[in-house]
């Protein structure tokens, strides 16, 4: 079982030929759909084949009803803290013909998820093999979740996204596995180790240099850096996780026809969690290989949560 803790957002997306300047109006088209890193990752884990629970906070509004219906449709067990005085999380997204966007996120209920609600979910934690969180809900709730997961002997994965969200050293230390993309990795190195670097600098590093940076950031953790269209880099601590060889390695990206990489990172973390939960004997490298395939396939469809593929589709495309 995978237990995901994180955000639900209702995304509202408007497309127009060009983005209006302040004070201006444009005619365009509109779609709405589910989003939020937490929900995207829960859907990914469920479709990757794991029994999945999702801990989140919702308002009492239409978006909350949508969240409940969509979770049920993917067989996800929802543990929602209801905040009647707050709206569910929303994102307003404006996209121009060139694909450039401007986004405003209103966290709403997500920011109010309490550690007390998380602490009361003992049975859910007791049944979890893998716990997975991101940084779009209150940091206190994330910290409580990671702490409970470790106490319950679940593997604790932190996807430290979005970049520059509030983190503390104590929070990072609760994670067995970190899954930043290059931007998030650079932000963590800056914030926690005072190392000035950016995503482009990281992309130019060889494996030995990346491994050293991963060890410097989180010597206790396995660090999995997603490299977008360049694949993924894995760095293990000295102490082997699940009998893997210690050290570092890189996986090439799968060849796909990417049309929309929104949510690729969410697909990766959700699928990794599911693969690791599938068997305590499963080698970490096999789980990473599956997540690399799953995330690649997710880029062939538009959207985030609803664009997640299913395990059978991944196996049909790339083999078992």
Residues 295-314 that bind ligand ADP (CB under 6 A): 295-296, 299
Candidates 97, 209, 229, 240: give the one binding ligand ADP (CB under 6 A): 229
What dihedral angle (degrees, nearest 10) is formed by the CA atoms of 305, 126, 109, 177?
-60
Candidates 49, 107, 108, 265: give the one binding ligand ADP (CB under 6 A): 265
Nearer to ligand ADP, 89 or 253 (CB): 253
Candidates 178, 227, 273, 304: give the one binding ligand ADP (CB under 6 A): 227
Cis peptide before 162 (omega within 30 of 0): yes
Q: Give the binding range for ligand ADP (CB under 6 A) out of 19-27, 120-128, 273-281, 293-301.
A: 293-301
Binding mask 140-169 for ligand ADP (x = CB under 6 A): ------------------------------
Is the dihedral angle over the CA atoms 250, 291, 122, 113 positive or is it negative? positive
Residue 291 C-beta: closest distance to ligand ADP, Å: 7
Q: Is 94 in the site for ligand ADP (CB under 6 A)?
A: no
DSSP state of 305: G
Count, residues in the chain:
320
Q: Is 103 in the site for ligand ADP (CB under 6 A)?
A: no
Candidates 261, 282, 300, 306: give the one binding ligand ADP (CB under 6 A): 261
Q: Are 132 and 45 in contact (CB under 8 A)?
A: yes
Candidates 228, 270, 303, 309: give the one binding ligand ADP (CB under 6 A): 228
Question: In which order are the strands placed within the sheet that holds 9-15?
Answer: 29-35, 9-15, 89-95, 101-106
DSSP state of 56: E
Residue 298 C-beta: closest distance to ligand ADP, Å: 7
- Binding-site residue set: 9-11, 36-40, 136, 181, 226-231, 260, 262, 265-266, 292, 298, 301, 303
Question: Which sequence positions are flagged as catalytic?
Answer: 266
Residues 176-195 that bind ligand ADP (CB under 6 A): 181
Q: Are 170 and 149 in contact (CB under 8 A)?
A: no
SS3 258: coil
Indicate the pairing of strand 2-5 with strand 222-226: unpaired
Q: Is 226 in the site for ligand ADP (CB under 6 A)?
A: yes
Q: Count residues near ligand ADP (CB under 6 A).
A: 19
Q: Give the binding range for ligand ADP (CB under 6 A) out of 11-19, 43-51, 139-147, 294-302.
A: 294-302
> CA-CA distance, 310 to 45, in Å (whole number)?
9
Indicate the pairing of strand 101-106 with strand 130-133: unpaired
Residue 231 C-beta: closest distance to ligand ADP, Å: 6
Q: Is 290 in the site for ligand ADP (CB under 6 A)?
A: no
Nearer to ligand ADP, 1 or 262 (CB): 262
Residue 99 C-beta: closest distance to ligand ADP, Å: 14
Q: Are 288 and 224 in contact (CB under 8 A)?
A: yes
Q: Hey, which bits of the chain come out as E strands?
A: 2-5, 9-15, 29-35, 52-58, 77-82, 89-95, 101-106, 130-133, 155-158, 177-178, 222-226, 232-235, 248-251
Using alpha carbons only, give the angle 239, 184, 134 rounded to the nearest 5 degrees: 80
| Residues lying near ligand ADP in the complex (CB under 6 A) | 181, 226-229, 231-232, 253-254, 256, 258, 261, 264-265, 268, 292, 295-296, 299
């Amino acid at each position: 079982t995978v237990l995901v803790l994180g955000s639900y957002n209702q995304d509202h997306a408007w497309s127009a030929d060009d983005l209006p300047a302040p004070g201006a109006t444009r005619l365009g088209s509109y779609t709405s759909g589910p989003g939020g890193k937490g929900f995207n990752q829960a859907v990914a884990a469920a479709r990757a084949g794991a029994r999945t629970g999702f801990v989140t906070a919702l308002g009492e509004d239409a978006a909350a009803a949508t969240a409940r219906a969509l979770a049920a449709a993917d067989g996800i067990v929802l543990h929602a803290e209801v905040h009647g005085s707050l709206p569910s999380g929303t994102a307003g997204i404006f996209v121009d013909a060139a694909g450039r966007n401007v986004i405003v996120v209103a966290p709403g209920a997500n920011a109010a998820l309490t550690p007390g609600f998380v602490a009361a979910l003992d049975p859910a934690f007791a049944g979890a093999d893998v716990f997975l969180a991101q940084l779009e809900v209150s940091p206190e709730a994330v910290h409580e979740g990671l702490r409970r997961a470790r106490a319950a002997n679940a593997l604790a994965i932190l996807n430290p996204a979005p970049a520059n969200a509030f983190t503390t050293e104590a929070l990072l230390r609760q994670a067995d596995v970190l899954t930043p993309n290059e931007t998030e990795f650079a932000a963590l190195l800056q914030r926690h180790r005072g190392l000035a670097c950016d995503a482009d600098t990281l992309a130019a590093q060889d494996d030995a240099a990346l491994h050293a940076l991963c060890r410097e950031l989180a010597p206790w953790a396995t660090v999995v850096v997603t490299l977008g269209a360049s694949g993924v880099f894995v760095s293990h601590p000295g102490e082997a996780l699940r009998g893997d060889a210690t050290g570092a390695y890189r996986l090439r990206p799968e060849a796909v026809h990417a049309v929309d990489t929104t949510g690729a990172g969410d697909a990766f973390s959700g699928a990794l969690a599911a693969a690791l939960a599938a068997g305590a004997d499963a080698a970490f490298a096999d789980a990473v290989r599956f997540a690399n395939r799953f995330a690649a396939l997710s880029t062939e469809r538009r959207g985030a949560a609803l664009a997640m593929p299913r395990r059978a589709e991944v196996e049909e495309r790339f083999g078992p």
